[in-house]
Structure 1
Amino acid sequence: MRSVAREERPGVDSWLARIVAVVTALLVMAPTLGPGRYTLVSDMVFVSAPALSARSWGADGSVPRAVPMDALLALASHVLPMWLVQQVLLLAIVGLAVLGAWRVSPARTIPGAAAGALAFGWTPYTAERLAMGHWSLLLGVALLPWILLAAIRFDGGREPLAPRAPWALVLLVAAGAVAAPTAGVLTGGLALALIVLPRFRSRDRVVLVASVVVFNATWVLPGALADALTSTDPRGVAAFAVSPDTPWGGVVSLATGGGLWNTLTHPTSRGIPVAVAGSLVLLAIGLLGWSGSRAWWDEPATRARGVVAGLALVGLLVGLASLTPAGRDLLVWTTGHVPGGGILRDAQKWVAWWVLAVSLGVGPALERLTRPFSAREATFLVGCGAVLPLIVLPDLAWGVNGRLVAHRWPDDYAAAAQVVNESAAPGAALVLPWHAFRAWSWNDQTTVLDPWSRLLDRRTIVRDDLEVRAGVVPGEDPEAAWVTARLAAGELTPEALRQHGVRFVVEDLTTAGQDPGTEPAGEVVFEGRWIRVVDLGPVTGALPVSGHVGAVLTLDLAAGIWLIIALVGNAEERRRRVLCFAGKSSRGRQQP
């Protein structure tokens, strides 16, 4: 097959890559678009006016679940409307994944590159994580092919155009660490694995290792210093273990990119044997693309892809471990005894490396399989292979089959938050009813994480226990555990709350099907259709104050300075390349 070669038509290849990326992103995210509207589902919570609080930086002693992303979103809200920020980020999840996978694909033809791009951007992994609201994790996953591409360019560059320092990799590592803790590990892990490539000098390796450590420390340090409860409860690992989303078990589910623990996120098509068989065909094609690799350490691109293959096996093994008793026991021990070990509980997310590795093999395999055919026939057949991911997983289209739909926040939320935030009275806020998730009628009864810790600029106590199929997984916040114990004993009185440092109670009035909890006595300072805020009066006690604010903010400042250095370094590299290109073009015109 020799048709539509990428090398011969780089301009066409580049523009088609962008067009396919944009169209694919719109095909998935169209229902989430619209001015003033927000997509709220499960863990995906965007509010119109996020508060820039100590919690958002991880400096209040609470468990840092979205640090430092929450702080950056709060800062961004002063420049852009948050509905626009969310919609751009959601489009980037798919668009960047498809475009990056296209750019890094080893396929020689445009249809082959398209096949690899869609094999990475259109997967059960993306569908199930979107349905779970894991947008920040997926943003990090979308950066993986770009990290691989940056490493290939650095390892294979030739003077004078070769990058002199891996600043592009540093910026990608920073973006992954900012997105989410797991995203930071996925992107940082890939970057660290790639430093074995031969062109990386000792100083380059030091720069990359330092970058991974510093940027990820922005959430690691607050987590290590947090007043968090630890648990070795095996229900936590069992709850987040791989859950088969196909009729053929957990191994098939993982190998084809699915198997998220929450069965409610599983696409309907994953239960149809014919569709799963199609996914297995796609998997076989991807693996076939690796079988022809020879002398894999001789070329920069093959070296880098070989590193990805090794990391992919590690990710797959972590996922498979949750399917075995011995593996679960190891995860239980790690969760309870290793700082940050809880990040391994959701074992399926680590197959992101595997999904990338499989997608890298799809294009070359299709090109090899179609060699006996004419150029036109081969182009058609590879094109059919490119749309196979869409055929076997139609559920990802149109907001994961209608699960992602944008709505407007009722005015009550911003108004109630303003009342609390404008109060100079010291004290925390408690959110009732005592549930971690809400289901509002104005949001189509879609389950979504409680938003008040993002709306209020003071310490906000919300339940962090997780109710799952295996039972209740204990949370990590000692203040939330105190409230749970008081509620169980019937002792959650206004006096007890004031003594514990709680000044305000925010009541969700219309969460469907949930116990309204207590009726706190105090002054009602706001009451609307959806929200009531009660002022309990002056507090007689106080919540523990973190003594590590200085350490956290100092680290954030250091990370910010290092980020600026990387931005300047990368800009200088780009300027040098432009000048080199201009010089070469000028010399070419002067030749007779």
Structure 2
Amino acid sequence: MIPAYALLLALAVTAPLLQPGYLLLRDAVSTPRSYLSDAALGLSEAAPRALPQDFLVALASSAFDGGVVVKVLLIVGLWLAGWGAARLAAAVLPEAGLGGQFVAATLAVWNPYVAERLLQGHWSLLVGFGCLPWVAVAMLRLRAAASWSALGALVFWIGLAGLTPTGLMLAATVASACVCVAGEGLSRWRCLAVGLGAAVVAALPWLTAAAVAQSLSSSQAQGVGAFAARAEPGLGTLISLAGLGGIWNSDAVPASRATLFAVVATAVLLGVVALGLPAAARRPAAVPLLVLAAVAVVVPAAMATGPGVATVEALIRSLPGLGIVRDGQKWVALAMPGYVVAGAGAVLALRRVPVAATAAVCCAALIAVLPDLAWGVGGKVSAVQYPPGWARVAALINDEPLPVAVLPVDSMRRFEWAGDAPVLDPLPRWVRADVLSTGDLQIGGRTVPGEGQRARVVQDLLLSGADRDSLAAAGVGWVVVESGNASLELPVAYTDDDITLYRVGGSAPAAEGRGVVLAAHWAWLAMLLIPPSARLLTLLLGFRVRKRALGEEGVSPGRRR
């Protein structure tokens, strides 16, 4: 019943994506086909932020449409969040029963964090978000009684959360917190070693890519202030974060959270959590999750203050690899496991009210105060169709995969056919070739520079009207103008009203280190394949043993002789 309910919630949120088309919204990019290009393996100037998700999508899209792959992963991620929250509630607070599990599932899926990250296009982060309660359950099982099943589950869920670096760090943190729970199973230190060891293996794709490409840059420190958490109407930053809102981008916020109604919505969510907090706090297994939830709210709030911004900037300049922490609000995801356990406890708070009635009111209230999460956050998260010219241009480039320069120069685009919101350039994920991009972002009227120095040189050449020979000497093979109104003095390979492709003919050497980076990705993929395979094999062997035993019991004594 709970898995079906969680799936219903996930489908209610993502319903528009069930239509044909592709998810293309801000940071979310899906294309019919992706490839194991240098960029997909993190072998470019940009920090490897999209590993190993680009690797997985490239593999999967060789057999299935890439748009379907991304949409399925997103839906599964939200489904896992709801189902896993119910499993965690059942494990930590069993007396809450089915009613508590329904509240936990609702709170995990129907909240501002999910809405805002959907609007920002962070589909892979939501997959990691959905793995967090499963990581907690697996670690609690391992602490309670050591077993290969629990160990395999922990490795699998940490690996799946590692679809993106942020998801991996969230999962590793939840696993480490759950180590503190008392138990008679695997010791604390061994559990910690298993969790961190699994996290290191899952991190190999982006750690290896960053080391091989030497792509870490302290330029990310310049964007810390722009990415700080933001107070919602009528709420301070701390309370906004406590209500699982407060994303830095005010455009990636559902309409109901952009008004004073956010006060009511936050009060309801925190009210459900506070109602069940006493019951949850009495359970030792819940205490580390509740403490983690408090830390996950307070620390991002502190990061959004003047001293906090300065501290994070200094930290990233000293350790450029920590640029991943600058988006402070995304770490509020760590509050979800503690919140869902407390939410489940709400059904125990009102002893004179039937559990089913309390659960129904809590679930209905959580949904009612965020009505526009339904139907793709009010229709803003939907499937789009690419104009036919894009497929033609991608095919021409893939036939001769030479480096590609793109106009306009910004990393984000606005296409009439893709809706009102800006989107990342889809071309880098649709072609085999290296697509040059500076990675510069325009946020609040200021430019946050990216790491693409080579792309910046080529961009200057294009804007200054450089000829074909100059562009070829700079290693440019193609120039793509993602609109129909530009005119360059270059040979035209294809043009229509939406896109124009110019042939230049320059080339650049392939990136080194593909073999070692691919090996790191395969090691991560093994984390997803080996535990389920081992579990399935164990079940099959157990079934055969039981069948043989039953068969022997059914043989008559005479026949046995």
| 1:532 lines up with 2:500 in the alignment | yes
> What's the CA shift string for 1:572-591, capped at 9, x where partnerless?
555577789999999xx9xx
**Normalised TM-score (structure 1):** 0.85
Q: What is residue 75 of structure 1 aligned with on the other side?
A: 59
Please give the alpha-carbon distance, in whole angstroms, between the structure 1 residues aligned to 2:81 and 2:527. 26
Q: What is residue 7 of structure 1 aligned with on the other side?
A: none
Q: What is residue 46 of structure 1 aligned with on the other side?
A: 30
Q: What is the CA distance between 1:23 and its match in structure 2?
A: 1.7
Q: What is residue 439 of structure 1 aligned with on the other side?
A: 414
The answer as to whether partners of 1:431 and 1:506 remain within 8 angstroms in 2 is: yes
Amino acid at match of 1:524: V
Q: What is the DSSP-based 3-state SS (H/G/I as helix, E as strand, rest coil) of the residue aligned with 2:58?
A: helix
Q: What is residue 382 of structure 1 aligned with on the other side?
A: 359
Q: What is residue 202 of structure 2 aligned with on the other side?
A: 215
Cα separation, partners in 2 of 1:165 and 1:530, compared to 1, 3 Å: same
Amino acid at match of 2:494: F
> What's the CA shift string for 1:487-537, capped at 9, x where partnerless?
67x364433321211111011115xxxxx67x4332211223311111113
Please give the alpha-carbon distance, in whole angstroms, between the structure 2 residues aligned to 1:530 and 1:249. 44
Cα separation, partners in 2 of 1:371 and 1:358, compared to 1, 3 Å: same
Q: What is residue 464 of structure 1 aligned with on the other side?
A: 439
| 1:282 lines up with 2:282 in the alignment | no
The answer as to whether partners of 2:46 and 2:450 remain within 8 angstroms in 1 is: no
Q: Indicate the larger mover: 412-421 or 216-225.
A: 216-225
Q: What is residue 321 of structure 1 aligned with on the other side?
A: 302
Amino acid at match of 2:457: W
Q: What is residue 21 of structure 1 aligned with on the other side?
A: 6
The answer as to whether partners of 2:478 and 2:501 remain within 8 angstroms in 1 is: yes
Q: What is residue 407 of structure 1 aligned with on the other side?
A: 384
Q: What is residue 151 of structure 1 aligned with on the other side?
A: 139
Q: What is the CA distance between 1:469 and its match in structure 2?
A: 0.5
| 1:372 lines up with 2:337 in the alignment | no
The answer as to whether partners of 2:88 and 2:134 remain within 8 angstroms in 1 is: yes
Q: Indicate the larger mover: 565-574 or 346-355.
A: 565-574
| 1:168 lines up with 2:153 in the alignment | yes
Please give the alpha-carbon distance, in whole angstroms, between the structure 2 residues aligned to 1:385 and 1:583. 50
Please give the alpha-carbon distance, in whole angstroms, between the structure 2 residues aligned to 1:523 and 1:89. 41
* Matching residue within 84, 100, 103 for 2:84: 100
Q: What is residue 329 of structure 2 aligned with on the other side?
A: 348
The answer as to whether partners of 2:216 and 2:321 remain within 8 angstroms in 1 is: no
Please give the alpha-carbon distance, in whole angstroms, between the structure 1 residues aligned to 2:454 and 2:373. 39
> What's the CA shift string for 1:152-204, capped at 9, x where partnerless?
3333348xxx5466011101111111x21111111122223334444224655
Q: Indicate the larger mover: 378-387 or 118-127.
A: 378-387
| 1:258 lines up with 2:271 in the alignment | no
Please give the alpha-carbon distance, in whole angstroms, between the structure 2 residues aligned to 1:560 and 1:26. 27
Please give the alpha-carbon distance, in whole angstroms, between the structure 2 residues aligned to 1:487 and 1:256. 46
Alignment of 1:103-118 (within 5 A): 103-105=87-89, 106=93, 108-118=96-106
Q: What is the DSSP-based 3-state SS (H/G/I as helix, E as strand, rest coil) of the residue aligned with 1:40?
A: strand
Amino acid at match of 1:248: L
Q: What is the DSSP-based 3-state SS (H/G/I as helix, E as strand, rest coil) of the residue aligned with 1:502?
A: coil
Q: What is residue 200 of structure 1 aligned with on the other side?
A: 186
Please give the alpha-carbon distance, in whole angstroms, between the structure 2 residues aligned to 1:61 and 1:234. 16
Q: What is the DSSP-based 3-state SS (H/G/I as helix, E as strand, rest coil) of the residue aligned with 2:39?
A: helix
Cα separation, partners in 2 of 1:233 and 1:563, compared to 1, 3 Å: closer
The answer as to whether partners of 2:439 and 2:449 remain within 8 angstroms in 1 is: yes
Q: What is residue 141 of structure 1 aligned with on the other side?
A: 129
> What's the CA shift string for 1:199-253, capped at 9, x where partnerless?
2246554443222101112112212433436235764111100112232221111
Cα separation, partners in 2 of 1:560 and 1:396, compared to 1, 3 Å: closer
Alignment of 1:242-253 (within 5 A): 242-253=229-240
- The runs of 5 or more residues in structure 1 that have no matched partner are 1-14, 297-301, 511-515
* Matching residue within 480, 485, 492 for 1:506: 480
Please give the alpha-carbon distance, in whole angstroms, between the structure 2 residues aligned to 1:145 and 1:262. 27
Q: What is the CA distance between 1:432 and its match in structure 2?
A: 0.9
Cα separation, partners in 2 of 1:251 and 1:200, compared to 1, 3 Å: same
Please give the alpha-carbon distance, in whole angstroms, between the structure 2 residues aligned to 1:416 and 1:546. 24
Q: What is residue 32 of structure 1 aligned with on the other side?
A: 17
The answer as to whether partners of 2:296 and 2:333 remain within 8 angstroms in 1 is: yes
Please give the alpha-carbon distance, in whole angstroms, between the structure 2 residues aligned to 1:232 and 1:525. 36
Amino acid at match of 1:223: A
> What's the CA shift string for 1:390-416, capped at 9, x where partnerless?
111111111101101212222211111
Q: What is the DSSP-based 3-state SS (H/G/I as helix, E as strand, rest coil) of the residue aligned with 1:472?
A: strand
Amino acid at match of 1:57: L
Cα separation, partners in 2 of 1:571 and 1:400, compared to 1, 3 Å: same
The answer as to whether partners of 1:60 and 1:549 remain within 8 angstroms in 2 is: no
Q: What is residue 520 of structure 1 aligned with on the other side?
A: 488
* Matching residue within 357, 371, 394 for 1:394: 371
Aligned sequence identity (%): 30
Q: What is residue 341 of structure 2 aligned with on the other side?
A: 360
How many equivalent residue pairs? 545
Please give the alpha-carbon distance, in whole angstroms, between the structure 1 residues aligned to 2:207 and 2:216. 16
Please give the alpha-carbon distance, in whole angstroms, between the structure 1 residues aligned to 2:6 and 2:364. 13
Please give the alpha-carbon distance, in whole angstroms, between the structure 1 residues aligned to 2:6 and 2:149. 30
The answer as to whether partners of 1:163 and 1:573 remain within 8 angstroms in 2 is: no
Computed over aligned residues only, the root mean square deviation of the Cα atoms, in angstroms, reads 2.8
| 1:554 lines up with 2:519 in the alignment | yes
Please give the alpha-carbon distance, in whole angstroms, between the structure 1 residues aligned to 2:57 and 2:513. 23
> What's the CA shift string for 1:37-91, capped at 9, x where partnerless?
1121101110012122122122355432312211211111122222322332232
Please give the alpha-carbon distance, in whole angstroms, between the structure 2 residues aligned to 1:270 and 1:231. 34
Q: Indicate the larger mover: 546-555 or 255-264.
A: 546-555
Please give the alpha-carbon distance, in whole angstroms, between the structure 1 residues aligned to 2:220 and 2:173. 28
- The runs of 5 or more residues in structure 2 that have no matched partner are 555-561
**Normalised TM-score (structure 2):** 0.89
Q: Indicate the larger mover: 572-581 or 117-126.
A: 572-581
* Matching residue within 99, 110, 114 for 1:126: 114
Please give the alpha-carbon distance, in whole angstroms, between the structure 2 residues aligned to 1:411 and 1:356. 44
Please give the alpha-carbon distance, in whole angstroms, between the structure 2 residues aligned to 1:398 and 1:34. 12
Please give the alpha-carbon distance, in whole angstroms, between the structure 2 residues aligned to 1:260 and 1:414. 34
Q: What is the DSSP-based 3-state SS (H/G/I as helix, E as strand, rest coil) of the residue aligned with 2:218?
A: coil
Q: What is residue 3 of structure 1 aligned with on the other side?
A: none
Please give the alpha-carbon distance, in whole angstroms, between the structure 2 residues aligned to 1:307 and 1:286. 16
Amino acid at match of 2:516: A
The answer as to whether partners of 1:53 and 1:71 remain within 8 angstroms in 2 is: no
> What's the CA shift string for 1:271-306, capped at 9, x where partnerless?
44345224223213313423245664xxxxx42x32
Q: What is residue 6 of structure 1 aligned with on the other side?
A: none
